[in-house]
Each structure stands twice: as C-alpha cells, then as structure tokens.
Structure 1
Amino acid sequence: MNESAQTPDRTSEDRTWWKEAVVYQIYPKSFNDSDGDGVGDIQGIIDRVDHLDDLGIDVVWLSPVYASPHADNGYDISDYRSIDDRFGDMDDWERLRDELHARDIKVVMDLVVNHTSDEHEWFEKSRRREDGYEDYYYWRDPAEDGGPPNNWESFFGGETWSWDEQRQQYYLHLFDEKQPDLNWEHPQVREDIYEMMNWWLEKGVDGFRMDVINLISKTRGLPDGEAGDWQTGVEHFMNGPRIHEFLQEMYDEVLAGRDVMTVGEMPGVDIDEAKQYTGADGDGLGMIFTFEHMNLDHDGGRWDLHEDYEAWDLRDLKEFVGRWQRGLAEEGWNSNYLGNHDQPRIVSRFGDDGQYRVESAKLLGTFLLTLSGTPYVYQGDEIGMTNVDWEHLDEVVDVDTINHVELLMAEHDIDDYQELRGFVNARSRDNARTPVQWDDSDSAGFTDGEPWLKVNDNYTEINVAADRTADDSVFEHYRDLVDLRHERDVFVYGEFEMLLPDHEHIFAFTQSLDDERVLVVLNFSDEPRTVDLGESDGRLLVSNYDDPATDLPTLTLAPFEATVFEV
C-alpha cells in the first residue's frame, strides 16, 4: 500500500527563501579555533567560510556566541547583546555576517529566552529584589515540609528548584541550576526580550532558531505534576496555557512585516499543535523542530538504561516521516534533521560507523536532502564524523551527561563508570560537540592549543582534507545533493508518496510536482536487498555507489545504497 500526501498548493505567494534553503548548523566552540586557546571562535568560522560556500548551503544557524559562563556551553546567557570574549567581539561577529552575506549565505541566531544565566544582570537584580525585577524569574518559598515548592523534574535530571541564600527563596530552573527560568507572565520580561530581538534584526540577522520556545508558559500556581513515563511536571511547563498568546505577541512586536526565518525547538509537539504554532493562521513561526523521531531508540527517556539502547526500527522512522510529510503538506512546513548539537552523530546512530561509514553517511545525506521541507545539516556530518569512545567520565564535559550518569550510578548501585561506558558513547551530547576534524595534523587542525573537548581518535582518517580529495568523498556527495535540490523544486515542494511502508530495510518514496516526479530508494541495512518498486524505467540522478542499481522496476541495492531517479 502506498501512502501519499495531498498535493501542495505552491503558489508564488507560498514560495519563500527559507523553504528553499539548505541550513548548516555551526556549534562555534567546536568549529575552528583561530587563536590557539583551544576554543573555537568567530574568526575561526571566518577562516573556514569558503568551506561553507563550497558546500553550497544557504543559511548558517549559529549556536550561541553571547556572553556566558558556559555552564551549558553557551545556552546560559549572561548578556544577550554582547559577544563572549571566548569567541571574539561584536566587530568579529559583524565581519562574519558580512563575509557570509557577501556569499549569499544568511545568518540565523540562536534565541534562548526560556531561561538566562544566573549571572545575567536581570537575575542578579531579581535576587536582590530590586524594584521592577522582583518577579523576572520564578521565586517561591519552601513547601510546608521545607523542601522544594513542587515535584517537577529537570531535563538534566534531578529537581527543578535551587535555594538562593541571598533572596532566601527557591528559584525555578527546568535545566541546569545556573539556568533560571524567566517569568514570561511579567510584561516587562517580554518587552525586554522583544526589544533585544529587534536589536539583533536591525544588526542584520536573518532570523532566529528559538531554543525550547514551547516551555515559556507555565501553569499558574506551579502545581505538582503527575509522575509519568517521561518527566514529572511536564504537563505544566510544555505547551502551557499562554504559549500561543506569547508567541502571537512576539510575532506582532518583532516578526510581522519582516522577511525572516524562524524555527522553534519544541519537544512534545504533535502535528496539530505544529499547525497552531506556524503560518499566517497560527502563531506566525516558519517551522518547528519536532522530537518524535529523536525518540526512536528510547521512547522519550533518553537516559533510561536498558540492554537494547541502540535498537530502532526503520518502519517507525517511515511512519513518522510519512505522517509529518502528509500532515504539513498544506498547512505549516517541515524542518528535516537527524542530528544537531544535542544528539549523537547521525552516522553512528542511524547508519554504520564501521565498514559502511562512507556509504551510510551519503545515504543519510540523501535522505535529508530529498524530503520536502527545509533540511538542516550539522557541522561534520558532511564528512561523516562519528561518535566518540568516552573512556572515562572525566573526559565528558556535557552537564546533561554527567548529571544523568551520576543519577544512574546511584539508582542502579553502579560503582564503575565502565559499566555505563557504552551507554554514554551512544547517548552523550558531547559526541556532536567534539572539534571538527579539518586535517590529520595535531588536534585535527582545529587548534594549535589544547582543545576544550577531546578530539575523536579517528581524526587522522576522517577529516575534511582527506575526504575532499577522496574518490568516495562524502562532502562531494552532499554538495551534489545541495546542487540538485537547488535545481529542482520537486525536492522542496514535492508531493510526498511513501512506497513499501512495511519493509524493514528499504525506505522508498516519490516526490511529484507538476509534471516532474522523482524516486528515492534507500537501503538502511548492511546487506544487499532486492525490491520491486513498480516503476518501468527511470533516469539516475544521483547515487552513492560507482556501479549503482538502475534496472527498474526491480532493484538489488548494495549495503546502504542510496539512489535517486527521475521517473
């Protein structure tokens, strides 16, 4: 049985640059270090900007470069209008903006406004109860038993409340204790945020990626949550009662009348909710990041320890993709991603980082760049970078990983980290944050100093310089796909039709637009697979094998083979 989306209405008014763009995420701390201090910086990005231009991408999503104590690697912001001196200064940022814009590459900044750093001026004034700032954050007295005000659980493990000695109250933090949640119920908080957003737009940014933006509204009174399979209290801080009001206000005060790209990171959102958040009839966002497919191997509990923690089923991925491609065909817009700074490396998670690393890296790139919607490529995926072996816990920097490992060791009475080593290797966010591997020199060409985070041991074999000169270059395959996507609207606006939805190893689909139709066939396995696609003939557009399977209608695909036909 085939599953298809309704034919999209792609009028000229419906076309926008950000729908047709390919986005590349840069995690600045790990991209390229220009001054030898071991930390990536803005000048380092400028030095590598031709790499981005060669790849053909249209947008850089720049993870936070704001002033920050880096308790959560920059997602704890102490000043929204200053550049952290680890990365440079505002002059450096403006040069980067100009270098990218000169190459027709737009810049999207990370907007982190669910919380700030506890070193932000607003929080310091709030803890001192300065006039006007008393309620900028969520402050509460202890519960009757003297403990935290409610039973909510943090995304990073443990409680969501920390005691502040100066104010003599608890404050709320859904993430690290150094990331207190802003109180969006306070009108002045919202006004200050909108003013800051307008300030950045006037400086030439082309949009915002909005960090956990659907957490900004909490249930009034902050009541106890019900214990569930995932996270206690989530029903009170995810998609809260005033979320649509706040986002519509943001649109009216900041985004209306501006040709900008917006994407909201929104855990726990379904298709109907996505439609509410996006578009002219919704809250005005361009698109959202959903997390359903990020749960394929853990069902929402990323740190739930179990024996088959790496197992996932391709049929579940197909069900997710088909449902979202169909669901947002006429309303809303899809954002397509497999990895980012918060997820393991895609070739290790969804492909094969051993014998078929190159083939599976190309297959995953083919998958991302042929779906309808806007694709997001994370730094290093264009050369097939892999997960890391975290031999000792003291090599890990990520606060989320460290907190959860400590909780797991206590919960399961584990004394030796080595019992959790494989689990950490598969789950840690630090996998995506290791320095980009530019060449086979010391520290992978990332820095002349001591890197802030361990460089993957395989950098002498997997690096940009080696890949770009290889006959089987992953980078060149990505570039070919980006060019193909730019040339053919069918990959952007096409009508999606799933083929073979119940096949355990083959992901096949077509995209159709006007009189153009393409067929994408992907073998997500390490064995040859034979399938009948029901197509009489087709012209090969791209493949990740030199001798691809082309004898339609029956194809015998090699391990991790990816083929795209015009049919």
Structure 2
Amino acid sequence: MTVGGGRDTAWWQSAVVYQIYPRSFADSNGDGVGDLRGVIGRLDYLRTLGIDVIWLSPVYRSPQVDNGYDISDYRDIDPLFGTLPEFDALLARVHELGMKLVMDLVVNHTSDEHPWFVESRSSRDSATRDWYIWRDARDGAEPNNWGSLFSGSAWEWDQTTGQYYLHLFDRKQPDLNWQNPQVRKAVQDTMIWWLDRGVDGFRMDVINFISKADGLPDAPAAPEQRFVVAFENFADGPHVHEYLAEMTRAVFGGRDGEFITVGEMPGVTPQQARLYTDPTRGELNMVFQFEHVSVDHGPAGKFDYRGLDLVALKKALHRWQVELADTGWNSLYWNNHDQPRVVSRFGDDDPDYWAASAKALATILHGMRGTPFVYQGEELGMTNFPFRTPQDHRDLEAVNFHRSVLETGGDEAAALAGLAKISRDNARTPMQWDAGPNAGFSTGEPWLAVNPNHTWLNAAAQIDSAGSVFAHYQALIRLRHDLPVLVDGDFTPLMEDDPQIWAYTRSTSTAELLIIANCGRDPRTVDIGREWIDAEMLLGLADAPATLTSASLDLAGWDARIYMRPVR
C-alpha cells in the first residue's frame, strides 16, 4: 500500500489528475444532466489526453441542494447519475484503460436528509444526537457569532428539540461531530466500503474543518458584524491531525495497492501543509490550498473582485514551491468546480488571445513541482460564461450571496459584476464537445446554459489539431511522464517582480529546465543568460528555433516556452 512516500518513489508524483463534474460532463439519456454512462462514453477521450487519475465529484444519493455536496447516503448512487452497477462498470472501464478513479469524500457535513441526521434531530435522547453539533440558545439567539460560508448564520434552530445545530455551509448541510469516535468509525467504514469496491483513493472536501475549536468560542468581530466566517475557530483545529492519522491507519493500513489522498483545505498555510503531507506522519499525500486563487479577492470577500496582480500570483505559488521543497508535496491547479475559468480570470479570453493564454498558463502550472490537476474543459481553454442577470446563476453560494446583498442594501451592480467573474457557475456550464446543439453535451435542455462560444471552442475542433490547446496539454502531460526533472527537480524562481514575465527553473544534478511565459499581449525581449545558449526547446511556438542561439529571448504576446540543457 502506497499512501505516503519519498519524492522519488510515489506513483502519484508523476501522475496527472482530471476532475469530472458529472452533472456537466456528458448526458447519455437526454434529461439535461450528465451521468455515469455519459462519463463511460468519454473515457477514451481522457486516455487520449494522457490522464492517469480521474477525480469524480460526488455522485452519491443526495437532495442536490449543493449539487451533490449534501449527501444523504454514502453507499448509493443518486438516480440522477445512474446506479451502483453503472458505477461498477465505469470503474472497471477506467481500470481497463490503465487509469485510476478517486471518489469525492464529503464528511465534514451530511445532508439533513441523511438517516444519521434524521435520527439525530428526532429527540435529544436519540442514538445519533451527538453525531452532530447541537447547542442551546445564548441569550435567546445563536450559540455564537459564527457565520456560514454561504451567507448568514452558521446555526439553524430546530423547533422539535429546542436547540441549534451547526452548519458551516447551507442549513441543509449540518456539520458532523468528529469528536465522537462513532462518527469517525462510520466515516472510516464508508471509505473501506468504497476501497473494497475498487476505488483508488479520495479527494476530501474541506477536510481541515472537521475539528472545531474547543468550546466553540465567538470569533473576533466588528461591532456592526452579527455573523463572522470564523476560519480560525474551525479550520486546522486542535485534533485534525489526530483524526487524519487515525483515518489513514484504519482505512489504508495493511491494504495492498496504490492509493491517493488529497485534502481540500481552505486557509491552510505552507507550514501546516508540511505537517499534513509529511509522509512520516501518515496523514495525506497532498492538499488543495487556496492562496493563489484568492489574490484577486477584495476585503469584502471573493465576489469583491479586484483584478489580477501577476506579481502577487507568482509569489503565492512560488512560496508553496519553496516551502514544501524538502517535506511534503504540492497539488497544482488553476480550475476546479469551485473556481472560475482561468483563461477568463488570469489569462485573456479575447478570441485572439484565449488559446495562447490558455497554453501559457498551462505551461507555467505543469512545469512546477507537484501533481497537476486538470478540470474538465480546461484542456480546451474553456472560458467563463457571459452572465448578466441574477437569474443566470444556479449555484447555491451565488444565489445566497445575491439575496444577502439585496437584504442588506448593498450594491447590486457590483455584486453581479463579481458573480460574473468569480461565480462557481462559470466552472459548471456543460462540457463543450462539439459545435452542435447544446455543445454535444445533451439532446435535452441542459440544467445550466451552454456557453455560446461552443460553436468555435470545442473538443471536436481541437482533438486532431496540432496547434490546439488540447494538443498542448497532451504535450505537457507527456513531458511530466517522461522527464524526471519535472517530478524531482529543484525549483528556483526568476524575475519574481516582473509584472509580465513568469519564469523559473527546475533542476537535478544532470538536467535543467527553463520555464518562461510572457503573460501579456505586448511582446517582450528577455535576457536569460548565456548558459542557455544551445538549450533545446521542448515546448513552444511551432516557428520558434529548436535550439537557442542567443542569451536574449524574444517572446510574443502570451508566448510560453520550455527549454532543457544538460548540467555539466
């Protein structure tokens, strides 16, 4: 069994992961919602891309309040997506094609329709009462001032039993009480059940929230603040390392096979991540951190969009490269189901530049030390949707935010502008397979509108095109599989304060790579040093010289290159 491991031995260090958001990937039955049979029908596409691991967003039985992140049965498939036999068929086909499959584990909270919670709220004396976090009112109001990440209070009053329960997300997503060993055992048993079925690991949703501060104290707040998102009181809590180490021992201990564990951890620092991912501690393989996808947030939060500061973005990612260099491991991502499309966010989605900026950003990310994650459509350069009205949005977070702005007399125009740029719905528009009706996603009416640009931005137009974004991702994935320096090499940042050029080197005792990109429309000439004369270009513009002949490098707008030279 391989869960941790040294930097030279773990299989997942040279792997590339592809996230599928099933609701929006491929619909096989025409109901407008993607499903498991739709995924099965597109697996050859992923094999062609070169993917090693598929991360499947939740397909468990769920009321779908938060698109499946509110689970009512951890051991069944929601009929919206298919059946357990269909899941088994998907898993078998994934393995047949030489790939692995990772499930999304959502165990900070359940749905309020989960039998555990139904029993818990039935009576103060119920067998699972202490499986959730219940508290008495304080001075006739909530037990503390914690706010939900989906707006408003993090507490919901239960009339039947006369207490509040905690929900860090929607009121229909009550938090589990991980202090109760029965809860931890139930979660571990669920994980073992899926491993016995053949899955290859887990991506763990907000897993650093499972240990709340002892006593659930108030969070610091300004006088006018009624509720506060109290990260310091529920993120990276006092027992989280203990719980994760216990989970790894109980679930993976003594089990043969190669597995992967990834923890989503909002607010985690590099210092904390070193502990979570130190292989000697036996907790997780890697974490998802949020520092680099928060650099464009304003003081009022993620929808207070402030635009890109490229220097801040570079330094955020570089810091993680440097600080996890000797202990732990990085995950590398631009996109996922919670983030807007990177081409529209950090790149340039003008039709004249979208492809070049997609390639440049991909080159920068895939050249770093860590395991790259590709989100569906990213390999095509999919862009944000042209959202205009509140009714365009379906995501619970977006709907709640807009409502709270109206209720508090906020600036609706500014809120809609922030939603258009940052809303999670941008990632969830249907996969753009072809130029036909509904982008080839479904024969029915899609649950979320298809981006109008699918008529020219789609998989069918790119798969057989040598200069496409898809082909560029294929080349990057091949390089990671073929070049040990991309996996093991040291990372050295260059030109960190340059507002347009992103550059760094990766090096071992035998080889060195230069990864460089011009992150803007204006051409630039960059002095890279005479030591790079005669270096071989591994990836770049088709008409660029195959070998460097000068210490100066001319870069067109959104041009990106990878060069390699031997270390003498």
Question: Which of the five TM-score ranges fits, normalised by the shorter chain?
Answer: over 0.9
Give the TM-score normalised by structure 1: 0.94
Kept in 2, the 8 Å contact 1:216–1:243? The answer is yes
Give the Å deviation of 1:239. Answer: 0.8
1:8 corresponding residue in structure 2: none
Kept in 2, the 8 Å contact 1:333–1:373? The answer is yes
Kept in 2, the 8 Å contact 1:303–1:404? The answer is no
Aligned mates of 2:85, 2:281 — CA distance in 1: 37
1:279 corresponding residue in structure 2: 278
Give the Å deviation of 1:544. Answer: 4.2
Give the TM-score normalised by structure 2: 0.94
Distance 1:473 1:154, change over 3 A: same
Give the Å deviation of 1:546. Answer: 3.6
Kept in 1, the 8 Å contact 2:60–2:76? The answer is yes
Aligned mates of 1:233, 1:64 — CA distance in 2: 26
Counterpart mapping for 1:21-32 below 5 A: 21-32=15-26
Counterpart mapping for 1:50-129 below 5 A: 50-129=44-123
CA-to-aligned-CA distance 1:194-234 (integer Å, 9 cap, x gap): 01011111111111101000000112221211127994422
Of structures 1 and 2, the one scoring higher in RCO (CA 8 A, sep 6+) is 1
2:499 corresponding residue in structure 1: 504
CA-to-aligned-CA distance 1:461-518 (integer Å, 9 cap, x gap): 1111112244531101110111111111111111111111221111111111230111
Aligned mates of 1:13, 1:543 — CA distance in 2: 28
CA-to-aligned-CA distance 1:531-564 (integer Å, 9 cap, x gap): 1011333111111454469554111100110001
1:268 corresponding residue in structure 2: 267
Kept in 2, the 8 Å contact 1:67–1:79? The answer is yes
Give the Å deviation of 1:413. Answer: 4.1
Counterpart check, 1:367 vs 2:359:
no
Give the Å deviation of 1:412. Answer: 4.2
Q: State the aligned residue count.
A: 552
Give the Å deviation of 1:262. Answer: 0.6
Aligned mates of 2:542, 2:397 — CA distance in 1: 39
1:158 corresponding residue in structure 2: 152
Out of 301, 307, 312, the position equivalent to 2:308 is 312
Distance 1:251 1:524, change over 3 A: same
Secondary structure, counterpart of 1:295 in structure 2? coil
1:429 corresponding residue in structure 2: 424
1:565 corresponding residue in structure 2: 563
CA-to-aligned-CA distance 1:57-85 (integer Å, 9 cap, x gap): 10001100000011110000000000000
Give the Å deviation of 1:281. Answer: 2.8
More off after superposition, 157-166 vs 117-126:
157-166
Out of 388, 391, 395, the position equivalent to 1:391 is 388
Give the Å deviation of 1:12. Answer: 7.5
Counterpart check, 1:481 vs 2:476:
yes
Question: What is the RMSD of the two structures over their aligned residues, measured on CA atoms?
Answer: 1.9
Secondary structure, counterpart of 2:538 in structure 1? strand
Secondary structure, counterpart of 1:503 in structure 2? coil
Aligned mates of 1:277, 1:440 — CA distance in 2: 44
Kept in 1, the 8 Å contact 2:379–2:473? The answer is yes
Counterpart mapping for 1:341-360 below 5 A: 341-354=337-350, 355-360=352-357
1:210 corresponding residue in structure 2: 204
Counterpart mapping for 1:209-288 below 5 A: 209-227=203-221, 231-258=228-255, 259-288=258-287
Aligned mates of 2:449, 2:537 — CA distance in 1: 41
Counterpart check, 1:330 vs 2:326:
yes
1:34 corresponding residue in structure 2: 28
Secondary structure, counterpart of 1:225 in structure 2? coil
**One-letter amino acid matched to 1:243:** V
Kept in 1, the 8 Å contact 2:32–2:442? The answer is yes
Secondary structure, counterpart of 1:347 in structure 2? helix
1:537 corresponding residue in structure 2: 534
Aligned mates of 1:446, 1:106 — CA distance in 2: 24
Distance 1:333 1:528, change over 3 A: same
Aligned mates of 1:123, 1:548 — CA distance in 2: 64
Kept in 2, the 8 Å contact 1:213–1:265? The answer is yes
Counterpart check, 1:494 vs 2:489:
yes
Aligned mates of 2:237, 2:431 — CA distance in 1: 38
Aligned mates of 1:150, 1:49 — CA distance in 2: 48
Secondary structure, counterpart of 2:374 in structure 1? strand
Kept in 1, the 8 Å contact 2:279–2:285? The answer is no
Q: Report percent identity of matched pairs.
A: 50
Give the Å deviation of 1:141. Answer: 1.8
**One-letter amino acid matched to 1:456:** N
1:168 corresponding residue in structure 2: 162
Kept in 2, the 8 Å contact 1:141–1:169? The answer is yes
